[in-house]
């Protein structure tokens, strides 16, 4: 007698939307591991990050993208937009995330981009816990008129509202296919990249409005079980800023600010790696790095 076999599903899901709507927060929640930098400040994500979620019958390859902006100010912005658009092209399913305060100009711009790609698109209206419930039905009707979304979910990642239902919907629209990665894989990024993301996230969380956007992080040296430092991992990372005047802000009086940054980052890096780390941070100036194509290539943006 022939046995019934459950077919597997696998595919890429592009997560798109304007800055600061919770794309990285959702990715981290779904994967169960923090693989994307998070901050309340917009445009925290600069790279395209692949998050891999394996279920019993499906493997979802989430492409977390930088927030879409319509008017790039420099080369870094242009590359961020390019990363987001390329994810739309590669995706089998698109997850459009917005908030309950729109649709605004950037939502409309993103929807126009969606119209150029014939992909199944699911709309998730995040942060619904921040508005009155009476606003939701008219908002859903508005988005239904703007684009033929497969489904629209009012949700809150932080309050865990409709997150599981959204995941079920994503699986529904995935194509059938074998898994791309081993089942215990959560990202295609290496440890160096993840360390850089952790340090960069702490910059966003610890410093004022200007500094995090003018700063870039690059791991310069990573030695596992370095005997010079008692057999723990040694990591030296360089924080690049655009102006000489920004260096003392990062370092702080008597080096206290950068010491605090290093402590917070080291603790999270150790939790991520599962081992002890000696973290050394340096600050260097690279003028106008956000406009420097060769430097951005080094950062793999």
Taking only the tens place, the pLDDT of each residue in 278-297 is 999 999 999 988 888 888 88
Q: Is 62 within a domain?
A: yes
Q: Is 25 within a domain?
A: yes
CATH number, residue 199: 3.30.300.20
Question: For position 3, what pLDDT does the model report?
Answer: 47
Q: What is the pLDDT of residues 130-187, one digit of tens each?
A: 999 999 999 999 999 999 999 999 999 999 999 999 999 999 999 999 999 999 888 8
**Whether residues 149 and 216 fall in one domain:** no
**Whether residues 151 and 196 fall in one domain:** no
DSSP state of 299: T
Please state the domain count of the chain. 2
Question: For position 6, what pLDDT does the model report?
Answer: 62
Question: For position 47, what pLDDT does the model report?
Answer: 55
Q: Are 48 and 183 in contact (CB under 8 A)?
A: no
**Whether residues 140 and 202 fall in one domain:** no
3-state secondary structure of 82: helix
**Whether residues 163 and 278 fall in one domain:** no
Q: Is 185 within a domain?
A: no
Which percentage of the chain shows pLDDT scores above 90?
53
Rg over CA atoms, the chain: 21
pTM attached to this predicted model: 0.77
CATH number, residue 25: 3.40.50.300
**Whether residues 263 and 133 fall in one domain:** no
By residue range, what is the domain housing residue 249? Answer: 191-298
**Whether residues 169 and 101 fall in one domain:** yes
- Measuring CA to CA, which residue among 33, 57, 61, 34 is closest to residue 181? 61
Question: For position 163, what pLDDT does the model report?
Answer: 94
Residue 207 Ramachandran class (φ > 0 left, ψ -120 to 50 alpha, else beta): beta
List the beta bridge partners of residue 153.
Answer: 124
Helices 75-90 and 105-114, packing angle to 10 deg: 40
**Whether residues 70 and 167 fall in one domain:** yes
Q: Which residues of the chain, if any, have pLDDT below 70?
A: 1-6, 36-48, 66-74, 76-77, 80, 300-301
């Amino acid at each position: 007698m022939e046995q019934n076999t459950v077919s597997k599903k696998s595919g890429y899901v592009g997560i798109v939307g304007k800055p600061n709507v919770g794309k990285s927060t959702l990715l981290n929640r779904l994967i169960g591991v923090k693989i994307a930098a998070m901050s309340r400040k917009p445009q925290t994500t600069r790279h395209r990050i692949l998050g891999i979620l394996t279920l019993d019958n499906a493997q979802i390859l989430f492409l977390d993208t930088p927030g879409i902006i319509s008017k790039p100010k420099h080369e870094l912005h242009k590359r961020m937009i390019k990363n987001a658009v390329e994810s739309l092209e590669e995706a089998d399913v698109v997850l459009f995330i917005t908030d309950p305060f729109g649709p605004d100009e950037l939502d409309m711009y993103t929807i126009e981009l969606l119209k150029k790609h014939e992909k199944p698109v699911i709309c998730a209206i995040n942060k619904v816990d921040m508005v009155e419930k009476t606003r939701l039905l008219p908002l859903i009707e508005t988005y239904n008129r703007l684009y033929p979304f497969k489904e629209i979910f009012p949700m809150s990642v932080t309050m865990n509202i409709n997150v599981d239902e959204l995941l079920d919907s994503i699986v529904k629209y995935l194509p059938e296919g074998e898994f791309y990665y081993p089942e215990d894989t959560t990202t295609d990024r290496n440890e160096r990249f993840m360390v850089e993301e952790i340090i960069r996230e702490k910059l966003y969380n610890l410093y004022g409005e200007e500094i995090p956007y003018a700063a870039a992080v690059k791991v310069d040296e990573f030695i596992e079980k370095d005997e010079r430092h008692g057999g723990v991992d040694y990591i030296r990372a360089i924080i690049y800023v655009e102006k000489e005047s920004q260096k003392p802000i990062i370092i702080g009086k008597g080096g206290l600010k950068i010491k605090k940054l290093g402590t917070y980052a080291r603790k999270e890096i150790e939790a991520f790696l599962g081992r002890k780390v000696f973290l050394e941070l340096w600050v260097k100036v690279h003028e106008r790095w956000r406009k420097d194509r060769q430097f951005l290539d080094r950062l793999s943006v």
